[in-house]
């Protein structure tokens, strides 16, 4: 794989966030930060350098594994760097940052470009916050509405659990009423965590979605030891991942093991996922059945 091959760039531009989701690697089950977490923001010069290395890049996706894109103090610089190169842009966020005026301005900034902002909303008020601890449903909805009203393209992202499965249809209906372009049910790839209350440390009972257990990967056992091309963004993109430290790797699942400053050190993911597959990749994107 060479820089000329890359069509999709996933970016984690910060490890900052004000939410306390129990499955997130930045904290300890939703309570207290991980001891290994370093707070860092992607250097804008490094970001521009990587963008300039990719002559055939089509899409930049801001989607973090340890932070929320909009928590970065440099987020508008990062977005502007993408827009100035006329690339498609996709932003994933819990949507609880800033005020409605800021979101209206963001829509104005984006609306002449191909874009999509994903708001993580896992239920209605009082239910959404069970997993998305530290966020506020009403504030997110107001921000999303301001963004949509100003011409922004938005997607409602929903992770189904047992505690919110009864609200899926209501959330779909509300998303349509508010003007969201899409509603996406997604799998929870963050598994094997002990959930705790973000303020007290008290244990929480967060259970898998009962109607379709495949959406919670703790219920899955694998039947093949490889990842199909149709399930892997890297293989279909092709894509690479840029983390907040400025390191390049094949994807976010390889981030810890495969950090690199250059493309010549990237592994052949197609070969590795078939010979010595990364277990995290298999859990997130592998071929599986429900047992």
pLDDT in tens, 65-102: 899 999 999 999 999 999 999 999 999 999 999 999 99
pLDDT in tens, 257-266: 556 777 766 6
Query: Has residue 268 got a pLDDT over 60?
Result: yes
**Nearest CA-CA partner of 272 in 254, 247, 248:** 254
Instruction: Return the higher-pLDDT residue of 182 and 274.
Output: 182
Cβ atoms of residues 148 and 154 within 8 Å: yes
Query: Has residue 35 got a pLDDT over 90?
Result: yes
Tell which phi-psi region holds residue 287, choosing left (phi > 0), alpha (psi between -120 and 50) or beta.
Answer: beta
CA gap 165, 212 in Å, rounded? 10
CB-facing half-sphere around the CA of 289: CA atoms within 13 A: 3
The top-scoring range by mean pLDDT among 154-163, 204-213, 217-226 is 154-163
CA gap 131, 161 in Å, rounded? 9
Length of the chain: 291
Q: Which two tokens stand for residue 86?
A: 């006329």
Helix, strand, coil percent content, the chain, rounded in steps of 5: 35, 20, 50
Query: Has residue 213 got a pLDDT over 70?
Result: no
pLDDT in tens, 118-149: 999 999 999 999 999 999 999 999 999 999 99
Domain boundaries, the chain: 3-210+244-267
Confidence of residue 30 (pLDDT cuts 50, 70, 90): very high
Q: What is the pLDDT of residue 250?
A: 79
**Nearest CA-CA partner of 290 in 225, 227, 231, 213:** 213
The DSSP result for 151-208, as a single string, is: T--EEEEE--BTTTGGGHHHHHHHHHHHT-SEEEE--B---S---B-TTT--B----B
Query: Has residue 290 got a pLDDT over 70?
Result: no
Q: What is the pLDDT of residue 189?
A: 62
**Nearest CA-CA partner of 9 in 69, 58, 43:** 58
Q: What is the pLDDT of residue 267?
A: 64
Query: Has residue 223 got a pLDDT over 60?
Result: no
The mean predicted confidence, pLDDT, of the chain is 87
Q: What is the pLDDT of residue 288?
A: 47
CA angle, 123 then 116 then 198, to 5° = 35
CATH of 3-210+244-267 given 3.30.2320.50, 3.10.28.10, 3.40.50.300, 3.20.20.70: 3.20.20.70
Query: Has residue 286 got a pLDDT over 90?
Result: no
pLDDT in tens, 152-172: 999 999 999 999 999 999 999
Alpha helices by DSSP H, the chain: 44-52, 75-83, 100-110, 128-131, 137-149, 168-178, 233-236, 269-275, 279-285
Q: What is the pLDDT of residue 255?
A: 58
Sheet holding 154-158, edge to edge: 182-185, 154-158, 115-120, 88-93, 59-62, 8-11, 239-242, 248-249
The mean pLDDT of 202-221, rounded to a whole number, is: 71
């Amino acid at each position: 794989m060479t820089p000329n091959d890359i069509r999709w760039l996933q970016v984690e531009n910060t490890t900052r966030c004000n939410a306390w989701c129990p499955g997130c690697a930045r904290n300890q089950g939703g309570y207290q930060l991980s001891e290994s977490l370093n707070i860092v923001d992607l250097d804008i010069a490094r970001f521009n350098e990587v963008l300039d290395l990719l002559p055939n890049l089509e899409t930049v996706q801001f989607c973090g594994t340890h932070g929320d894109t909009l928590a970065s103090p440099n987020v508008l610089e990062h977005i502007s760097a993408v827009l100035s190169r006329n690339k498609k842009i996709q932003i994933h966020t819990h949507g609880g940052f800033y005020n409605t005026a800021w979101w209206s301005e963001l829509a104005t900034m984006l609306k002449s470009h191909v874009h999509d902002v994903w708001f993580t909303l896992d239920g209605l008020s009082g239910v959404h916050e069970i997993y998305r601890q530290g966020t506020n449903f009403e504030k997110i909805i107001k921000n999303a509405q301001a963004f949509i009203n100003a011409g922004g393209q938005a997607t409602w992202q929903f992770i189904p659990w047992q505690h919110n499965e009864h609200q899926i249809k209501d959330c779909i209906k509300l998303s349509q009423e508010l003007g969201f372009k899409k509603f996406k049910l997604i799998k929870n790839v963050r598994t094997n965590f002990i959930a705790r209350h973000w303020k007290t440390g008290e244990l929480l009972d967060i259970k898998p979605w009962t109607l379709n257990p495949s959406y919670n990967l703790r219920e899955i056992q694998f039947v093949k030891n490889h990842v199909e091309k149709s399930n892997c963004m890297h293989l279909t993109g092709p894509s690479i991942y840029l983390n907040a430290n400025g390191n390049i790797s094949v994807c976010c699942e390889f981030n810890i093991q495969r950090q690199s400053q250059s493309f010549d050190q990237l592994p052949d993911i197609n070969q590795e996922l078939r010979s010595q597959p990364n277990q995290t990749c298999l859990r997130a994107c592998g071929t599986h059945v429900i047992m």
